[in-house]
Amino acid sequence: MTSAAGGYGKDDAEAATRLIGYAFRPRLLPHRDAEYAALVRRFDEEPAFEDLVRQSATGLGLQVLGVTMRAGSVIVPVPGSVFETRLEGYARQVRQSHHREAERVLHGIAHLAIAALCFPRPQDLVDDSYVGAVTAAVVDKHVRHMCRELAKRSAEAHENSDTPVEAPELERAWRAYARRSEAGETTSGQVAPTTTEAIVGKALRYLVDKGLLSESENLELASKVYRTTGRYQLQVRELAAVEAYRELLLLGIVPPADSAGSLRVISDDGTLH
């Protein structure tokens, strides 16, 4: 690995960046590619090589979440990196300017709900061998159910959840979701893109494209079933959930820490508490 002078060998930089490159081909897995598998093994066995990969990634605006045989090379962008996709770019086709924010929230809620249903209990998220499965209909039903519960609670608390006419952005997210049609077709028989069915479907297909879910046809359910991959579990558990949780804390929301799931906050330097 290291030359006599203490530096890196001449091929090491290439190997390290190649491993980073594999992170951008998420549908390729180490056990299907001998070279990939060799690099993963090397990352595991040679601390110096691991350092090199981590440093190279940092320079590119990336963060190494994990490199395992099951998940492959999971290297994700840090906030503000050029490799980052935000909801703004993802839900770009939305034209109505006054609905833009609500539209983005709906897409984000769909992603959050998919993750929540893939890993319904905290122990599922922790269990590395756990494979969650969802269908589009289940995700939509689940969120709607949650919206109904929140509506009920709001009614019990005698809150007026109707939005002021002059400030539509103050509407609660659950109301925006509940009001959106769940299914519908355009005159040409296509699924109407504004329905929640279409929004959830888009999110699932996007995750499949990213190699985070795998899809299969279930004849019994007559619909597509989406299964989680190790990469998705890792990204949700190690990063997305933590960051979103911190974002909620910043907003002054303290999510409940009930007996079923406990919380974990990660500080900026990456150490766990």
Site for another protein in 5-64 (CB under 8 A): 23-24, 26, 62
Are residues 207 and 226 in contact, defined by beta-carbon separation less than 8 angstroms? yes
Minimal distance, residue 168 CB to another protein, in Å? 7
- Distance, in Å, from the CA atom of 7 to the CA atom of 114, rounded to the nearest integer, reads 45
| Unique residue bearing structure tokens 């019994």 | 220
Q: Is 205 in the site for another protein (CB under 8 A)?
A: no
Q: Is 199 in the site for another protein (CB under 8 A)?
A: no
Output the CA–CA distances (angstroms, integers) from residue 174 to 48, 104, 216, 258, in the order listed: 49, 13, 30, 22
> Looking at beta carbons only, is 49 or 177 nearer to another protein?
177
> Looking at beta carbons only, is 7 or 256 nearer to another protein?
256
> Looking at beta carbons only, is 9 or 104 nearer to another protein?
104
Number of shown-chain residues binding another protein (CB under 8 A): 115
- Footprint of another protein on residues 210-239 (CB under 8 A)? 210, 212, 221-223, 231-232, 235-237, 239
The one segment of 1-9, 36-44, 46-54, 183-191 that binds another protein by CB under 8 A: 183-191
The one segment of 6-14, 29-37, 40-48, 72-80 that binds another protein by CB under 8 A: 72-80
Q: How many angstroms from the chain centroid is the CA of residue 147?
A: 21
Instruction: Report long-range pairs for 262-265 (Cβ below 8 Å, ≥24 apart).
Output: 262/122
Residue 34, SS3? helix
- Distance, in Å, from the CA atom of 107 to the CA atom of 89, rounded to the nearest integer, reads 11
Binding pattern for the stretch 128-167 against another protein, x by CB under 8 A and - elsewhere: ---------x---xxx-xxxxxxxx-xxx-xxxxxxxxx-
- Distance, in Å, from the CA atom of 22 to the CA atom of 53, rounded to the nearest integer, reads 12
Minimal distance, residue 243 CB to another protein, in Å? 5
Which one of residues 69, 208, 225, 240 is an interface residue with another protein (CB under 8 A)? Answer: 240
Minimal distance, residue 12 CB to another protein, in Å? 22
Which one of residues 176, 198, 200, 204 is an interface residue with another protein (CB under 8 A)? Answer: 176
**CA angle at 163 for the pair 157 and 166, rounded to the nearest 5°:** 145
Are residues 42 and 93 in contact, defined by beta-carbon separation less than 8 angstroms? no
Residue 180, SS3? coil
